[in-house]
A and B are shown apart, each in its own frame.
Chain A
Amino acid sequence: GAVVSQHPSWVICKSGTSVKIECRSLDFQATTMFWYRQFPKQSLMLMATSNEGSKATYEQGVEKDKFLINHASLTLSTLTVTSAHPEDSSFYICSARGTNQGDTQYFGPGTRLTVL
């Protein structure tokens, strides 16, 4: 139980285009979803926290107009990287937490974004 999927696993796009990444909780209702980005030296940074039906809370330094997060249902959150640039190339991971899971987050497998 408690499986989180991400789609796509990897994506390559041209500079200036927008890319949407989906995060789904497959067997539980995710009231809260988190989006992370990987930086050099393996570190992961929290980008934003989203609660179902409300606007996402972005961490300091994360451009909310560039990284659009939508959490329209209890099983789906999307991250859209708008007008992507090569510096947005990274690994993006989501995690989900539901009411039946207490504080536990379950992580998705991640999405590799490459912007040419």
Chain B
Amino acid sequence: EDKVVQSPLSLVVHEGDTVTLNCSYEVTNFRSLLWYKQEKKAPTFLFMLTSSGIEKKSGRLSSILDKKELSSILNITATQTGDSAIYLCAARYNNNDMRFGAGTRLTVKP
């Protein structure tokens, strides 16, 4: 069965800490992995990763895909309270199928 698993489910850190969120996938004909940040109305798109080993970066956020390990990590450095959110990953596979993980709830305390 195709699935995407995120860990941890929740995480509490203090401002300035660095966090690493994990996403592993088991899908057939994998195409890409997506990361989203859920704060308010709907998750906002962060990254799409298709190639292994190439880091994508946006400010303090970065992500990398490891196709050998069937996993991806999302790193956030120097966390701020505004980073508090649910972070979702999703695997795109086959022609146009997608599978979402349950999300990681990140809380950044001042």
Segment among A34-42, A66-74, A76-84 that sits at the interface with chain B: A34-42
Residues in chain B near residue A95, CB distance under 8 A: 103
Interface size grouping (class) on chain B:
20 to 34
Considering only residues 40-77 of chain B, those with a C-beta below 8 Å from chain A are: 41-45, 48
With A41-B45, A42-B48 as known contacts, state yes or no: A110 contacts B86, CB within 8 Å: no
How far is the CB of B3 from the nearest CB of chain A, in Å? 7
Q: Which of A9, A36, A91 contacts B43 (CB 8 A)?
A: A36
In angstroms, Cα B101 to Cα A36, docked, is 15
**Number of A residues with CB within 8 Å of any CB on chain B:** 26
Contact assessment for A105 and B86 in the assembled complex, using a CB-CB cutoff below 8 Å: yes
Q: Say if the beta carbon of B30 comes within 8 Å of chain A.
A: no
Contact assessment for B101 and A107 in the assembled complex, using a CB-CB cutoff below 8 Å: yes
Considering only residues 63-110 of chain B, those with a C-beta below 8 Å from chain A are: 86, 88, 90, 96-103, 105
In angstroms, Cα B41 to Cα A105, docked, is 12
Interface membership of chain A positions 73-116, coded 1 if the CB is closer than 8 angstroms to chain B and 0 otherwise: 00000000000000000010101000000001111111010000
Considering only residues 28-54 of chain A, those with a C-beta below 8 Å from chain B are: 36, 38, 41-46
- Specify the chain B residue showing the minimal Cβ separation from A1: B9
In angstroms, Cα B6 to Cα A2, docked, is 12
Contact assessment for A108 and B38 in the assembled complex, using a CB-CB cutoff below 8 Å: no
Contact assessment for A109 and B86 in the assembled complex, using a CB-CB cutoff below 8 Å: no
Contact assessment for A110 and B102 in the assembled complex, using a CB-CB cutoff below 8 Å: no
- Specify the chain B residue showing the minimal Cβ separation from A37: B42
How far is the CB of A69 from the nearest CB of chain B, in Å? 16
A-B contact pairs, 28 of them (CB 8 A): A1-B9, A2-B9, A9-B2, A9-B99, A36-B43, A42-B34, A42-B48, A43-B42, A43-B44, A44-B36, A44-B42, A44-B45, A46-B41, A46-B42, A93-B100, A104-B10, A104-B86, A105-B103, A106-B102, A106-B103, A107-B86, A107-B102, A107-B103, A109-B3, A110-B90, A110-B99, A110-B100, A112-B96
Q: What is the interface of chain B, defined by CB distance below 8 A to chain A? A: 2-4, 9-10, 34, 36, 38, 41-45, 48, 86, 88, 90, 96-103, 105
